Every structure is written in C-alpha cells, then in structure tokens.
Amino acid sequence: MAGFTPNYLNGHNPTQAHAYGREVIREAFLRRRVPPAALDIICASLADNSIKQYEVAFKRWSKFCNDNQIDFYEASIPNVIYFLTKVFNEGTQYGTVNCIRSALSLILGSKISSDDRVQRLFKGFYRLRPPMPKYDSTWDPSIVLDYLSINYPNDLTSLASVTKKTVTLLALVTAHRMQTISKIKILNIDFNNPDHISIKIPDLIKSSRLGASQPNLILPFFVDRPTICPALALKRYLDMTQALRGDIDTLFISIKKPYRPVTAQTLGRWVKDILGESGIDTSMFTAHSARHAATSSAHRHGVNINTIRSTAGWSGSSLSSVPGTVTRVAAVVGGDAQLPCDARPPQRNDSLLLVVWYRDDNPVYSRSPCDARPPQRNDSLLLVVWYRDDNPVYSYDTRVPGPTAHWSEEAMSERARWLGSPTSALLVRSVEARDRAIYRCRVDFQVSPTRNYRIALDVIGNLANAFEGATFAAHKFCMDIPSRLEDLRRSSAAEEMLSMFNVISIRRASARKLDPPYPVGINTKVRSRAAARA
C-alpha cells in the first residue's frame, strides 16, 4: 500500500524511527509469517551494536519511504536501488551503504542481496568509491612503553594513572579489542601460575564463533622490566580498587565516585589519553590502533603469524591484514613454482572480481594463482592482481567481458598461468633466476574488502651444489656460504620444517647424492616419492 507508515511510527516523527530498531525487525518477520514465539530468539541473533547501526539505516529508509509514498516493508527492488543511489550520492562511504543494504535485507528479505541489479550497483559503488583501510601506517609500541615506565613504582602513582597504565598494557600485550578487556571478571583471573596471569573470557565477544574457543588472555611477569610488567600492574590495580569496588566483579571500574563498571568506550578513552601523553598523534590513531601496533611489532620481531592470529583473536581471513606478512616459496631454476593467494569471497552473496599480481609495485598479471575462492557463500570474486616487488605483473578481472587475464610482462605470460579453485595459486613454469622477487597479490571482491598477500619467491640456481633430498632452506644457506656445504648432511628435519621452505628432490646429472645417514622425516618421504616416480 503506497504511503504505508509502520505501526511503530504512528504518532512519531519519521526521524525518530531509529529508537525502535527491534520493533521494526519484529514487525518485518511477523509479516513473513514467523511465529511470535520465535521473534525474541531471532532478535537475539543480532548484536546490540548491529541493532544500533541498523536503527540509523531504518531512520533513513523511513524518511525516504514517507517522502516518496513507498511501503516501508514491501518496497520494490527499483525503489531500493533508487534509495541506495541517493545515499551513495550524498557522499556515504561504501561500507556504510553496504550496512544499509544489510539492514534492508532484514525487513525486505534476502532478495535485496541476491538481486543481480543490486549486485551490479554495488560493483559500481566499489569502483567509484572503494573502501580504504583505516590505517596505512602504525606507531611503535616502544614509545608508549617508555612513557609508561616513568609511572613507577605503581604504588606511588594515583588510581587514574595505574588504571590507564594497566588498561594500555593489557591492550598491547593481548592485542584484543576494548570490548574484550571490558568483559574481564575478577572471578575469571587465575594467579596460580608463577610465570604469568591467565584470564578467561566466557562472554560472547565480536570474534566469538560457533565451535571456536573463547579467548584466554596471558599476562606474563616481566622480571627484567618491572616498570612495564602487565601482571604486576594488574595486581597493583586490584589492590588499589579492592576497597572501592564493593561487590562489583567487573575488573575495571570508574576512577571517580561513584565507582561503577566502565564500558569499552571508556577504556578506549583511557588508552587514547596514554597515547596522546606519549606523543602519538591521536587525531590519526584511536585506542583500537593498539591492536595494529602490537601485532605489527610482534611480527617484526619474529613471532609466528599463527601465534599472533590466535592470541589476538583473528579469524583466518584476517591474516593478510598484518603489515609485512610474507609467505616464502622456493623453486629451482627450470622447475615450477606455485604462489598461493586466498581469493575465496568471505560472504555467500559475494564473488571474485579481480586478481592482480605485482612485482616491485608494478602489475605483472591479472587473474593470478592465489586462493581466489570467496570466503563467504554470498560473495564472489571481483579482481585478482599479482605484484612482483610491488610492480603489477598479472591481473584477472571478472568485471569485463571477453579475455580476463592480462600480463604486463609478455615474457612471463608464456610461463605462468592462474590456477583456479581449489588450488588458487599463480603457477610459474620454467623458473628463471630473474623471477626471484617479492610478489604481491591483490584480490578484489564484489562486496567484501580487498585482500593483499605477499609471497617471497626464492630461486636456487647453483645446481652444482645441490644435494638430492635436502631442503630449499639448506640449499639457500649453502649458496650464500659455500664453505658450509657439509651442513646439508647435518640439518635436522625439525630445523627444515621450521624453515618455512618446501622440500626439493633434484633429479639431475649435476645433483650430488646425499650420503647416509639421510635426514629423517619429511626429506626421506619426499625422496621416496621421487624414487617411486622414477
């Protein structure tokens, strides 16, 4: 019915629609014949923050419907496209428009996300105003740690100073969100281990997933640097607040009377205060940037990326967000190499759009071999670009008809090709010495954010010094230091596994046999398979 006003708006100005987000969702599902007994459960599937975001979208949609005499719950796809276009033309960012689409899908049905016209519209939104990462750089945690070390001993500083110091140290050590830190309960803090304090987080947080483990935060005792020891700071904070908190079990409480549990937003303001006092530009960096700073610093200092991912509570698709993350691949001159790149859309209604590979920041290929499978079922591949040393070398574009692959280097176009699902990698045949470089793969999706992967290709060319059955790591080491060739015989399987290089079995006249005893483990298995093929 044209001009229909939702029941919850009767007697209210349309601009007040955002105060009734749950009522909108309940009404929408009632109209789709969902039993009333199930409505509360359906609403519980959405986080409070998601409801707040959707309320803003409902407000804009309600005003649009009233201004244009459109049914709030039964609008047509063309009306939705007109509304989304209007929102985009107002300068709204891609992510916000996508959030509005999700809100409309709740009340109008999944047809919004699956309609090919809407999908095409969002491809245009993406190209005209692509989403940009919030940070293209980060700050050095040592700057903040040096500042915090001044506030010591902890028992000589104020409650406000100890509180802000403890929150900041927890943020840097755990690399978790302020939301997670705000959920800490004293009941879940374990002091029994002499080396560290462990904190369990049983509450649902943003990164909680069905079947996934809840966070277990570890605060080590820094014996050598007590001035910035997170465990000591926590113990001192608990001592200072014991007489103030009463029966409050939440760890962090307000620093002034009346003493009450504080929200994640308050914790964020405290961390931001410390950043500003340390000399960090808080007009550019928020409290959340502590996650980026901590994880980037850990990776620069050699911490395993999977350890960082599990500690910070990242999903598998978050791996590419770590600045400087490099996957190492090795190949022998004349052999083949596969450069992996995950190109799976993270959403079900998304698809792969473009893949571009770069070398030295120059594109060399579009549609290259990386994992280009959409990580979500509603997603699809948009663009894949491979880079070599940050130069684009290859791209694969699904946005244009006809041939989608493009090479910037013709010489490489004859030797490399894109391997689609399930391999999802750039296959380089007849590897040459000049192929040794840092490659970057950029993957664009129709809906989801762009991904970037970095792959270091090491090329072994000195076959005269190669031993059958040894690892790339061992060969590379011996190429750099020829006098250490005997190390090929002494390298252990464990060392070779930790090298992050594949194992090779060179079957050429110039390759020397590795005298017994052979390295055990993976080398033996690879040599056996090679022998079986021979």
- Give the range among 165-169, 216-220, 439-443, 485-489 with minimum mean pLDDT: 485-489
In this structure, are 63 and 87 located in the same domain?
yes
- CATH number for the domain spanning 221: value is 1.10.443.10
C-alpha–C-alpha distance, residues 236 and 224, integer Å:
18
Q: Summarize pLDDT for 96-127 with one digit per residue, the tens.
A: 999 999 999 999 987 888 888 999 999 899 88
In this structure, are 392 and 331 located in the same domain?
yes
Torsion angle, alpha carbons of 508, 511, 515, 518, to 10: -70
In this structure, are 342 and 443 located in the same domain?
yes
Query: Does the structure show a pLDDT above 70 at 421?
Result: no
Residue at a domain's end among 245, 278, 311: 278
Query: How much is the pLDDT for 68?
Result: 92
Range of 105-114, 125-134, 293-302, 415-424 with top mean pLDDT = 105-114
Give the residue with greater pLDDT, 190 vs 178: 190
Q: CB under 8 Å, gap of 24 or more: what pairs does 95-98 form?
A: 95/131, 97/122, 97/125, 98/122, 98/447
- Do residues 385 and 376 touch, judged by C-beta distance below 8 A? no
Query: Does the structure show a pLDDT above 50 at 350?
Result: yes
Domain presence at residue 298: no
Query: Does the structure show a pLDDT above 70 at 270?
Result: yes
DSSP state of 467: B
What secondary structure does DSSP assign to 256-320, as a single string?
A: SSSP-B--HHHHHHHHHHHHHHHT--TTT--TTHHHHHHHHHHHHTT--HHHHHHHHT--GGGGG
- Give the range among 121-130, 235-244, 320-329, 499-508 with minimum mean pLDDT: 499-508
Give the residue with greater pLDDT, 340 vs 353: 340
H or E segment and range at residue 527: helix 522-533
Domain presence at residue 300: no
Instruction: Please tell me the total count of domains within the chain.
Output: 4
Domain presence at residue 525: yes
Q: How many other CB atoms are there within 10 angstroms of residue 142's CB atom?
A: 11
- CATH number for the domain spanning 379: value is 2.60.40.10
Query: How much is the pLDDT for 81?
Result: 94
Query: How much is the pLDDT for 15?
Result: 37
For 124, phi then psi, to 5°, come to: -65, -40
Domain presence at residue 284: no
Residue at a domain's end among 106, 128, 150: 128
Query: pLDDT-derived band of residue 299, with 50, 70 and 90 as boundaries?
Result: very low
Average pLDDT for residues 299-326, to the nearest whole number?
41
Query: Does the structure show a pLDDT above 90 at 146?
Result: no
Range of the domain at 443: 327-459
Average pLDDT for residues 316-325, to the nearest whole number?
44
- CATH number for the domain spanning 92: value is 1.10.150
pLDDT, averaged across the chain = 70
Domain presence at residue 301: no
Domain presence at residue 136: no
Query: Does the structure show a pLDDT above 50 at 335?
Result: yes
Q: Summarize pLDDT for 499-533 with one digit per residue, the tens.
A: 333 333 333 333 333 333 333 322 322 332 333 33
H or E segment and range at residue 197: strand 196-200
Query: Does the structure show a pLDDT above 50 at 37?
Result: yes
H or E segment and range at residue 27: helix 21-31
Give the residue with greater pLDDT, 154 vs 455: 455
H or E segment and range at residue 458: strand 451-460
- Do residues 394 and 385 touch, judged by C-beta distance below 8 A? yes
Residue at a domain's end among 413, 443, 459: 459
C-alpha–C-alpha distance, residues 330 and 310, integer Å:
27
Query: pLDDT-derived band of residue 262, with 50, 70 and 90 as boundaries?
Result: very high
